[in-house]
Amino acid sequence: MERAKVHSISVSDMHSKNITLDSWVKDAMVYSICYMVCLLVCIAYTHCCDAAMLDKVVAFVDDRAITLSEFEETYKTMKEQSPSITAEEVINSMINRLLILKEANKIRLEAHSDDELVKEYINIKIRSMILIKDDEIKAFYISHADEFRGQEFDTVKDDIEKYLIEEETNKQIIKHLDELRLHAEIKIQLTNAP
């Protein structure tokens, strides 16, 4: 019968094998520091996630959420520009903006900001398709003769055309947004709005 061999390392053997207590302590400290850093990162990440989860979602547009903080910031800004605007109008405006941005990205439009991207999309997809005929401009001039009293048709023709283009653009944007909304999954859960 063979006896099991027990190996033990004495302090003197540690020195002979270049194993020192100092290196063992240093390794233990490095592992401890790494563990503590990882723990702090996890705690910080959990805290950030909890803070983000506290921000209530007030609407969904397909796979994009509109948070309460986004809504409140937009509402405050729009309220300063137009004091009579309602919370419902603001949330619908935000939804419309997301729908247009999504479409602009689909056709690979690029711009420096989301505002510029929305304008570019409207210019390309809507405004560029609008043509105002001279008879329409003349008819507008005649039907609004009181407003143009003392001004010749040729001096106001360009202004009338710009106005009619803008009016038609707004109609087409509404029509286009209605169509985009039909094909999008939209859920509004805005309650107790400011």
Supply angle C-alpha 126, 127, 133, rounded to 5. Answer: 120
- pLDDT on residue 150: 86
For residue 80, which amino acid is it? E
| Three-state SS at 164 | helix
Q: pLDDT category, 8, cuts 50, 70, 90?
A: very low
pLDDT in tens, 152-193: 999 999 999 999 999 999 999 999 999 999 999 999 987 765
Sheet holding 57-61, edge to edge: 64-67, 57-61, 186-188
Q: pLDDT category, 43, cuts 50, 70, 90?
A: low
pLDDT in tens, 73-119: 999 999 999 999 999 999 999 999 999 999 999 999 999 999 999 99
- pLDDT on residue 55: 80
Distance between CA atoms of residues 27 and 31, nearest Å = 6
- pLDDT on residue 65: 93
Using alpha carbons, list the distances in angstroms from residue 145 to 43, 141, 155, 166. 71, 6, 13, 20
- Contact by Cβ (8 Å): 166, 130: no
Residue indicated by tokens 């008879």 = 135
| Three-state SS at 33 | helix
- pLDDT on residue 47: 53
pTM of the model: 0.65
- Strand ranges for the chain from DSSP E: 57-61, 64-67, 186-188
pLDDT in tens, 110-148: 999 999 999 999 999 999 999 999 999 999 999 999 998
Residue 130 main-chain phi, psi, to 5 deg:
-95, 130
- pLDDT on residue 35: 57
Rg for the chain, CA atoms, rounded:
34
DSSP state of 96: H
Chain centroid to CA 7: 65
Count of other CB atoms within 10 angstroms of residue 151? 12
* Farthest CA pair distance, the chain: 126
Q: In this model, does residue 66 exceed pLDDT 80?
A: yes
